[in-house]
Amino acid sequence: MLRKRSPLIICGAFIFVAWNVILIFVLMRRPSTQGALDSPDEPGNTGDGAGGGQFGNIMNEVMRVANAFEAELESQKKILLQIQSHWAVWENKGGVTAAKPKSQAEHSAPAVIPILVIACNRVTVKRCLDKLIEHRPSAELYPIIVSQDCGHAETSDVIASYGSKLTHIKQPDLSDISVPPQHKKFQGYYKISRHYRWALNQVFNTFSYSSVVVVEDDLEVAPDFFEYFRALYPILKSDPTLWCVSAWNDNGREGFVDPGKASLLYRTDFFPGLGWMLTKDLWAELEPKWPASFWDDWMRHPDQRRDRSCIRPEISRTLTFGRKGVSLGQFYDKYLRFIKLNSEFVPFTKMDLSYLEKKKYDESFEKEVYSAPVVTVEDLQSGKLSGSGPFRVQYSSPDSFKTLARNLGVMDDLKSGVPRAGYRGVISFLSRGKRVYLAPPAGWSQYDPSWG
């Protein structure tokens, strides 16, 4: 609609300018209705140029024409303002806000949050793209950019079949990467890291977006995926203690999450990935030191995390269906294929999410965790505990953490001392229908990177 109307606006502007040129010409050549330009031979005209006479009449006529011209300009100014107003409305309908002053547009216009799909050689990217397009509420507010590595023709054909519904870009460097001999089998991880760097540079530096949600080609999204990120975008932008928002719960398997709390959100010190949002400012910080490989574990190092947290949900808003990949299905058969994907639409943008603010969150979280009674794994498994909890199971070393995590069925690995989905060392999950916190002793102060 915008393309059809734009020529009409341009034509209207041209007519407006032409009309004013003609108007000026006519007004300047128009004879006086009072006979101001009398011949010097007429009675009463001295022709000497002093005081009244012909010169005075000319001056009067010039003043009259100027006043008429000023009035006409004022009228034309009102018309021009009306044209400008209509132009702004039509531009907004086309997703453009350039007609508004920048400060007003930034204040009132909703942010554009692009979705970056990292693809390679999976034709099953179709499942990912179908769900993104099915649940996307607006193509203008959520443009989809598919960045493809590997040069796989069949996958490229699948992506191209979506036409204008998405933007298809291709990583130009498909060469092998020189790696240490002991990392020869990890060549794929090096290529993935190179691809991420190139793709994120495209989003932020070429397309000039201010944020992005990154998904990989083996993820299926929940119905409220876009609503979730829309609601958390302003929180991520304004809270310096956060550095990402993730759609993923590492311990979000069926039976380990509360289906009645689909709206529940957490702070986590563990970088989850698997559908996550970052800002351009964060990328400007990370890009100069981006690693050659294993980028996700690099993100979990204290030098990158810098005591910042991510937001993650009780119930995941993404589901991975890609068993085969460079990780050779690590964790997939035991954990990932059982992750519960949220099916209930939660109106996050209409909810009060201020409880996620760090000071408020920490006070409430610590009170709930450390006021919960300490129990053993045997107590939980016996079925003799009454009530729904919460209950606390306490660990004091990396070995005790791993043993307890395995017995309770949650993921037992640590990255730089941080447990998956953990916050201040605490993991929250359900066990036999009871809320459980696997937690370090009270007084926890910081992670020990030597753990793990």
| Per-residue model confidence (pLDDT) at position 52 | 46
Peptide bond into 272 cis (omega under 30): no
| C-alpha closest to that of 319 among 277, 276, 274, 278 | 274
The C-alpha atoms of residue 268 and residue 395 are separated, in whole angstroms, by 18
E strands, 106-241, are: 115-119, 144-148, 167-170, 211-216, 219-221
The C-alpha atoms of residue 452 and residue 450 are separated, in whole angstroms, by 6
Task: Count the helix, strand and coil residues of the chain and give each as a percent rounded to the nearest 5.
Answer: 45, 15, 40
- Number of neighbouring beta carbons within 10 Å of residue 83: 13
Blockwise average pLDDT, block size 10, the chain, 452 residues: 46 54 50 40 39 51 54 51 42 38 57 98 97 98 98 98 98 96 94 98 98 98 98 98 98 97 98 98 98 97 98 97 63 84 98 98 98 97 94 97 97 96 98 97 95 88
The C-alpha atoms of residue 450 and residue 192 are separated, in whole angstroms, by 27
| Per-residue model confidence (pLDDT) at position 116 | 99
User: What letter represents residue 292's amino acid?
Assistant: A
Residue 296 annotated as catalytic: yes
**Which of these is catalytic: 296, 362, 379, 412?**
296
The C-alpha atoms of residue 139 and residue 126 are separated, in whole angstroms, by 17
Contact by Cβ (8 Å): 233, 113 = yes
**DSSP code of residue 24:** H
| C-alpha closest to that of 248 among 420, 437, 365, 439 | 420
| C-alpha closest to that of 247 among 198, 315, 200, 343 | 315
List, in order, residues 6 or more apart from 165 with CB less than 8 Å away: 133, 139, 144
| Per-residue model confidence (pLDDT) at position 51 | 42
Counting every residue, how long is the chain?
Answer: 452
Helical axes 125-135 vs 153-160, angle rounded to 10°: 20
